């Protein structure tokens, strides 16, 4: 059901359930210059049948489009990409084992933003293409010499060995329609990669209403109301299965606790900010001071990796990632 500026869902977008529980509305909003007139008319709900948390009622397509076309959306800057550089390398190290040898080394980044991921993929030798509806994003990508379009119909069929969604899927109003497009453009033996905020992350569990109202600690996770759905592994896997996709791998990325513990800029990549934000204590030793012998020291970087890997292995990472193929 829809009015001119608000859409109300009568069914869960994942399981079509109709039993909802109202959740607290986050205290801080993304894009108040666009969405403030909707305050008191949009909100959050939880599906009692599958557990999906989603924005309902939610802003209309017109309001969402006005936000994405605006000047405050930093994901449309190359420097605002959360999946560039070393993060892209880490993600590809997890994706590559699932790419068949015969799949073309051609990647489509769906929702390319400022093109940070595509720039790194081009450096790695991939042929790159992007889809980006935002004017600022298009300009940034084209200034970087990237082949990016804002028209879905311009994308060739059966052309891409890999299609990626980096913090885009949670913004989609109709995931089924977009997944149908992916199926059309994906090459035989191609794979789909999706990364979204992880609703089962420790970061999400700590995003309490009182923190939301008084600080910015959960803004990156919730991004209310432009993140329309908050997925965990079960709900993301289910929406993919509903549209004919089979998940091959699931993992989490990023510790996601830096804003809770230290006064540091947000880092949305494979961040080790929690454990690397400060230098190891032994670096503070005064030169020439006597040192007690240390038996069998554990290299700090190796210890950090053990901590990170254990944390991510428990599924607590800030972001949830899946690799999938057509079923």
What's the pLDDT at 74? 60
Report pLDDT for 259.
54
pLDDT given for residue 136 in this prediction:
86
Residue 19 CA to residue 16 CA, distance in Å, equals 9
Which pLDDT value is given to residue 61?
95
With a cut of 50, list the residues of the chain below it in pLDDT: 262-294
Cβ neighbours, 10 Å, residue 298: 10
pLDDT recorded at residue 97? 97
Alpha carbon separation from 95 to 19, 121, 134, 180, 195 (Å, rounded): 36, 13, 27, 21, 12
Residue 201: which of 82, 312, 324, 287 has the closest Cα? Answer: 312
Q: What residues contact 33, with CB distance under 8 A and at least 6 apart?
A: 70, 72
Structure confidence at residue 82 (pLDDT)? 73
Contact 48, 20 (CB under 8 A): yes
Looking at residue 300, its pLDDT comes to 61
Phi-psi region of 90 (alpha: psi -120 to 50; beta: other; left: phi over 0): alpha
- Quick one: pLDDT at residue 79? 53
């Amino acid at each position: 059901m829809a009015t001119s500026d608000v859409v109300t869902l009568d069914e869960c977008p994942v399981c079509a359930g109709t039993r909802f529980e109202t959740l607290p509305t986050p205290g801080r909003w993304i894009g108040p210059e666009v969405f403030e007139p909707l305050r008191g008319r949009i909100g959050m709900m939880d599906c009692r049948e599958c557990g999906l948390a989603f924005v309902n009622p939610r802003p209309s397509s017109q309001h969402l489009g006005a936000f994405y076309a605006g000047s405050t959306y930093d994901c449309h800057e190359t420097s605002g990409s959360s999946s560039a550089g070393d993060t892209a390398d880490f993600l590809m190290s997890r994706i590559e084992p699932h790419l068949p040898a015969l799949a073309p080394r051609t990647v489509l980044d769906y929702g390319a933003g400022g093109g940070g991921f595509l720039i790194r993929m081009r450096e790695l030798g991939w042929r790159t293409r992007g889809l980006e509806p935002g004017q600022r994003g298009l300009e940034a990508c084209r200034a970087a010499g990237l082949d990016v379009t804002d028209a879905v119909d311009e994308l060739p069929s059966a052309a891409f060995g890999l299609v990626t969604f980096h913090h885009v899927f949670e913004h989609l109003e109709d995931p089924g329609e977009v997944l149908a497009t992916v199926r059309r453009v994906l090459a035989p033996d191609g794979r789909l990669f999706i990364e979204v905020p992880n609703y089962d992350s420790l970061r999400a569990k700590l995003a309490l209403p009182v923190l939301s109202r008084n600080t910015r600690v959960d803004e990156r996770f919730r991004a209310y109301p432009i993140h329309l759905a908050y997925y965990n592994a079960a709900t993301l896997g289910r929406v993919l299965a509903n549209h004919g996709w089979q998940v091959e791998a699931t993992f989490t990325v990023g510790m996601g606790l830096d804003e809770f513990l230290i006064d540091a800029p947000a880092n949305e990549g494979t961040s080790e900010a929690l454990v690397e934000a400060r230098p190891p204590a032994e670096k503070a030793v005064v030169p020439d001071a006597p040192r007690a012998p240390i038996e069998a020291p554990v290299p700090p970087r190796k210890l950090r990796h053990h901590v990170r890997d254990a944390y991510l292995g428990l599924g607590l990472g800030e972001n949830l990632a899946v690799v999938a193929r057509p079923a």
